[in-house]
């Protein structure tokens, strides 16, 4: 809700949000986060500085807001995300010459301790997948498809939910995925996963009325799946794994990337498979392969 903005700034904020949606092609979820961050900041300006025009913000006001978020116990990562929303907005105003100086320019992001991605042990995980047993009903069999898809392709939760039958190219053994900022990428699919998907689509056509535009993963009524549904399914099975700290769909993405790198996959190739925009995002997984590299060094180097 942007009700606390005055008329002019409300109009500019709406223009900014439209810019994010239609020019930057951000997802509706991301745009809502930006809107929420700007609204929260405006509430702070109104209460703390009696200011209803966000476009008159000063550096002191931004710094004061950041300190208030920290005092409230907000994690540094969350504070930085909100600060990034302000930066984007004021850069937008600067480019359109609505303001002459950017009040966030001298504000530094907070230092964030980088957590290494949680991933499952390769031997334990592949054995775990091979010996999982599922009931014969459609929804139970779909749970296998969900696990195999997340691990076999490394796709994100949102990407899984958005998949449709037509995204699978069976002759070429590929999967077309719509990732962040509506960027498409094509991922190869292994033979066993391809057969699993083929059978899944066949069974789904008997369980529900479907066509090529139908969602690949569905809820119990045949409609599109949703995040909490996937989380519950994944957590139910990953709770059986001792080598995995976090039991989430994203942990399977981490596991996918780490296992590829452990097997010698090229870092740039893994970057493309994951749909990362920069190599830096993919390089975090190289930390997980350090033990593997040490093992190779110990076995191969004469002075090890």
For the chain, the structural domain boundaries read 7-95, 122-298
C-alpha distance from residue 191 to each of 21, 230, 269 (Å)? 38, 24, 20
E strands of the chain, at which residues?
168-169, 174-178, 184-188
Nearest to 146 by CA among 204, 203, 229: 229
Known active-site residue 253? yes
How many alpha carbons fall within 13 Å on the CB side of residue 87?
14
**Given 82, 156, 254, 271, the catalytic residue:** 156
pLDDT of residue 122: 87
Q: What is the dihedral of CA 173, 178, 183, 189, to 10 degrees?
A: -20
Q: What is the dihedral of CA 93, 98, 100, 104, to 10 degrees?
A: -30
Q: Which residues of the chain have pLDDT under 50?
A: 1-3
Taking only the tens place, the pLDDT of each residue in 149-177 is 999 999 999 999 999 999 999 999 999 99
Known active-site residue 89? no
Fold classification of 122-298 is hpI Integrase; Chain A (1.10.443)
3-state secondary structure of 224: strand
CA 184/CA 197 separation, integer angstroms: 20
Taking only the tens place, the pLDDT of each residue in 106-157 is 999 998 866 667 888 888 899 999 999 999 999 999 999 999 999 999 999 9
Kindly state the helix (H) or strand (E) to which residue 55 belongs, with its residue range. none
Known active-site residue 276? yes
pLDDT of residue 224: 93
Please give the share of the chain, as a percent, with pLDDT higher than 90: 73
Tell me the CATH number for domain 7-95. 1.10.150
CA 298/CA 300 separation, integer angstroms: 6
pTM of the model: 0.65
**Given 200, 253, 254, 271, the catalytic residue:** 253
**Given 144, 176, 185, 250, the catalytic residue:** 250
**Given 164, 180, 247, 292, the catalytic residue:** 180
pLDDT of residue 1: 40
**Given 81, 176, 235, 276, the catalytic residue:** 276
Q: What is the dihedral of CA 250, 276, 184, 87, to 10 degrees?
A: 100
CA 192/CA 175 separation, integer angstroms: 14
Known active-site residue 185? no
């Amino acid at each position: 809700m942007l009700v606390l903005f005055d008329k002019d700034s409300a109009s500019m904020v709406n223009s900014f949000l439209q810019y994010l949606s239609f020019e930057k092609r951000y997802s509706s979820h991301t745009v809502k986060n930006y809107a929420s961050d700007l609204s929260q900041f405006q509430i702070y300006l109104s209460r703390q500085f009696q200011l209803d025009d966000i476009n008159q913000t000063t550096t002191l006001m931004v710094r004061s807001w950041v300190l208030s978020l920290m005092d409230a116990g907000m994690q540094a990562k969350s504070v930085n995300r909100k600060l990034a929303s302000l930066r984007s907005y004021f850069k937008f105003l600067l480019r359109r010459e609505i303001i002459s100086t950017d009040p966030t320019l001298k504000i530094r992001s907070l230092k964030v301790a980088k957590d290494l991605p949680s991933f499952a042990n390769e031997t334990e995980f592949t054995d775990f997948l091979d010996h999982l047993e599922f009931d014969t009903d459609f929804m139970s069999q779909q749970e296998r498809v969900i696990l195999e898809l997340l691990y076999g392709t490394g796709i994100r939760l949102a990407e899984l939910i958005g998949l449709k039958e037509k995204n699978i190219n069976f002759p070429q053994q590929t999967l077309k995925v719509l990732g962040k900022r509506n960027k498409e990428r094509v991922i190869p699919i292994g033979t066993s996963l391809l057969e699993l998907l083929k059978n899944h689509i066949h069974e789904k056509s008997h369980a529900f009325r479907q066509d090529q535009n139908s969602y690949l993963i569905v809820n119990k009524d045949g409609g599109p799946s949703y995040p909490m549904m996937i989380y519950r399914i994944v957590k139910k099975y990953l709770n059986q794994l001792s080598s995995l700290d976090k039991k989430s769909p994203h942990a399977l993405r981490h596991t996918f990337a780490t296992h590829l790198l452990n097997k010698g996959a090229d870092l740039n190739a893994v970057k493309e498979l994951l749909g990362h925009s920069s190599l830096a995002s993919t390089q975090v997984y190289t930390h997980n392969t350090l033990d593997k590299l040490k093992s190779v060094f110990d076995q191969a180097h004469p002075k090890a």
